[in-house]
Chain A
Amino acid sequence: EAQVTQNPRYLITVTGKKLTVTCSQNMNHEYMSWYRQDPGLGLRQIYYSMNVEVTDKGDVPEGYKVSRKEKRNFPLILESPSPNQTSLYFCASSSRSPDRGPNTEAFFGQGTRLTVV
Chain B
Amino acid sequence: GESVGLHLPTLSVQEGDNSIINCAYSNSASDYFIWYKQESGKGPQFIIDIRSNMDKRQGQRVTVLLNKTVKHLSLQIAATQPGDSAVYFCAENDYAGGTSYGKLTFGQGTILTVHP
A98 within 8 A of B: no
Taken together as a complex, chains A and B put the C-alpha atoms of A10 and B111 apart, in Å, by 24
Say whether A50 contacts B101, CB under 8 Å: yes
- Contact (Cβ within 8 A) A104 B107: no
Cα A103 to Cα B91 in complex, Å, equals 11
Given A101-B49, A103-B95, A103-B102, CB of A40 within 8 Å of CB of B43: no
- Give per-residue flags for A45-58: 1 if the beta carbon is below 8 A from chain B beta carbons, else 0: 10000100000001
Count of chain B residues near A, Cβ 8 A: 28
CB < 8 Å: which of A41, A94, A104, A108 contacts B43? Answer: A108
Interface hits, B52-84 → A, CB 8 Å = none
Residues of B within 8 Å of A96, CB to CB, are 101
B32 touches A104 (CB 8 A): yes
Whether the pair B102, A101 counts as a contact (CB closer than 8 A) is yes
Determine whether A109 belongs to the interface, using a CB cutoff of 8 Å to chain B. yes
Instruction: Type the 1/0 row for B19-34, where 1 means its CB is closer than 8 Å to any CB of A.
Output: 0000000000001101
- Report A30-64 residues with CB < 8 Å from chain B CB: 31, 33, 35, 39-45, 50, 58
Residue of A nearest to B49 (CB): A104
Contact B104 A110 (CB under 8 A): no
Listed from nearest, the 8 A-B pairs whose CB atoms lie closest are A108-B43, A40-B6, A103-B101, A101-B32, A42-B108, A43-B106, A105-B46, A42-B106
B contact residues vs A (CB 8 Å cutoff): 5-8, 31-32, 34, 41-46, 49, 51, 89, 93, 95, 100-109
Q: A: which residues have CB within 8 A of B?
A: 4, 31, 33, 35, 39-45, 50, 58, 90, 92, 94, 96, 100-111
